[in-house]
Amino acid sequence: MLLLKNVDVFAPERSGRADVLLAGGRITRIESDIRVAEPYCDVVDASALLAVPGLIDGHVHMTGGGGEGGFATRTPELVLSDVIRGGVTTVVGCLGTDGVTRSLENLLAKARGLDEEGISAFIYTGYYAVPTATLTGSVERDLLLIDKVVGAGEVALSDHRSTQPTFDELARLAAEARRGGILSGKAGIVNIHMGDGRRGLSMLRRVIEETEIPPTQFLPTHINRNPELFAEGIVFAKAGGLVDFTTSTVPAYLAEGEVKCSRGLRLMLDAGVNVSQITFTSDGQGSLPVFDAQGRFERLGVGRVTSLFAGVREAVLGEGVPLEIALQVVTSNPARILKLRGKGRLAAGADADLTLLDPKTLDVRGVIANGRWMVRDGELLVRGTFE
């Protein structure tokens, strides 16, 4: 057992000071002045810390990504220390451009490996292409038969790397994912990679307008890619849709007009978008390619999971977004949208995933995943198997 004494709790809403008792990988009690027999419990004075839910990164290329510049540009796979250094305790893996040399079987194995190393991991089935690759022959079967699969994606739209799916193909994919989600009790959401093409969100709007599929069936990511797409995203979210900001970036993207995620959150809130419609993800280990005007590859960066909380921290300290609001985009919102039960909140019965922060700087000082210390007093205690 582990007892955190007198910690300032953000659940993610601010709940005040309390003791938090963890046992058996769960939060068992959050109350004032919990007393336990100390020989059987690690009792920690946490009065100098903030406790927030373990962060959820819903878009990570766990087995690596890239390849837009040839085989030598395939990015490396995720390692555990990159996850926990950033306060993240749950990741959702996906494939991107490459669904050939990066396989779903490998992605599933990587998710199970991360579980064994101490965090929680899930996956999307498919990749950029439509019709998309699956593990069992269909998106619906993957959702029903494979515990780790929570949805489909990332499917590419408005991008020169997309397979340019037709309206019927996209609608059929969304319908299959929805049906599989309903039958399995999972989210069944379709993660949409948004490029910077002129068509923007038009294909998603058409599916929503011409079918019975609701806007919340889609989670378009990279919505802060450029000012035009960002403006579309505001309208889409205010109409009931979901939007996802990407926290990893490179200077070239910002110079070309990408909306910094911290600033974008402030602008969306000011425009009247409900924070419950917004998530942040890192695109960790994904490629951040720079192309010229003719779509020719020039150079490559790599996304980092550690950028996730950095974006939240900057929104709070630099843009004046209240911490309890900013935390939602990486805790309770992705947990609700992706139906990750037990995740994203500090409450009795929830999974024992906590991130401990310095109240002044918001630096990550501690990380507990499934009740186990991963980072303590700012020191990394656990590394991946081959780190």
Mean pLDDT of 206-217: 97
CA 106 → CA 32, 103, 229, 291, distances in Å? Answer: 45, 5, 33, 28
132-147 burial by CB neighbour count: b if 16+ within 10 A, else e?
A: bbbbeebbbbbbbebe
Per-residue model confidence (pLDDT) at position 252:
81
Per-residue model confidence (pLDDT) at position 80:
98
User: What band does 275 get if pLDDT is binned at 50, 70 and 90?
Assistant: very high
Element (H, E) at 7: strand 2-10
Measured between alpha carbons, how far is 92 from 70 in angstroms, rounded to an integer?
Answer: 26
Measured between alpha carbons, how far is 246 from 154 in angstroms, rounded to an integer?
Answer: 13
Tell me which DSSP letter residue 78 carries. P
Per-residue model confidence (pLDDT) at position 40:
83
User: What band does 176 get if pLDDT is binned at 50, 70 and 90?
Assistant: very high
Per-residue model confidence (pLDDT) at position 99:
93
User: What band does 362 get if pLDDT is binned at 50, 70 and 90?
Assistant: very high
Write out pLDDT tens, residues 121-163. Answer: 999 999 999 999 999 999 999 999 999 999 999 999 999 999 9
Mean pLDDT of 161-179: 97
Q: Which two tokens stand for residue 223?
A: 């919505």
Percent of residues in the chain assigned helix, strand, coil, to nearest 5? 30, 30, 40
Q: Which of 19, 244, 283, 351 is catalytic?
A: 283
Q: Which two tokens stand for residue 346?
A: 């500090």
User: How many other CB atoms sit within 10 Å of the CB of residue 233?
Assistant: 30
Which of 39-43, 267-271, 329-333, 379-383 has the least mean pLDDT? 39-43
Measured between alpha carbons, how far is 329 from 261 in angstroms, rounded to an integer?
Answer: 11
Element (H, E) at 209: helix 202-210
Write out pLDDT tens, residues 294-324. Answer: 777 777 889 999 999 999 999 999 999 999 9
Measured between alpha carbons, how far is 23 from 351 in angstroms, rounded to an integer?
Answer: 10
Q: What is the value of pTM for the model shown?
A: 0.96
Per-residue model confidence (pLDDT) at position 117:
98
Which residue in the block uniquely carries the two structure tokens 């600033």?
A: 263
SS3 (DSSP) at 85: helix
Measured between alpha carbons, how far is 15 from 162 in angstroms, rounded to an integer?
Answer: 45
Third-level CATH fold of 2-52+345-380:
Urease, subunit C; domain 1 (2.30.40)
Identity of the amino acid at 283: D
Identity of the amino acid at 127: Y
What does the mean pLDDT of the chain come to? 95
Per-residue model confidence (pLDDT) at position 260:
96
Beta strands in 126-263 (DSSP E): 149-157, 189-194, 218-221, 243-246
CA 88 → CA 103, 234, 242, 266, 309, distances in Å? Answer: 24, 27, 22, 22, 8
Q: Domain locations in the chain?
A: 2-52+345-380, 53-337
The reply to whether 283 belongs to the active site is yes
Measured between alpha carbons, how far is 310 from 195 in angstroms, rounded to an integer?
Answer: 23
Measured between alpha carbons, how far is 240 from 257 in angstroms, rounded to an integer?
Answer: 26
Write out pLDDT tens, residues 151-162. Answer: 999 999 999 999
Mean pLDDT of 94-98: 95
Write out pLDDT tens, residues 280-298. Answer: 999 999 988 777 777 777 7
Mean pLDDT of 361-371: 98
Measured between alpha carbons, how far is 353 from 371 in angstroms, rounded to an integer?
Answer: 6
Which of 29-38, 40-49, 94-103, 224-233 has the least mean pLDDT? 29-38
SS3 (DSSP) at 31: strand
Element (H, E) at 323: helix 323-326
Instruction: Give 290: exposed, middle or buried? Use CB within 10 Å, 0-12, 13-18, 19+.
Output: middle
Chosen CATH of 53-337 out of 3.30.413.10, 3.20.20.10, 3.30.300.30, 3.20.20.140: 3.20.20.140
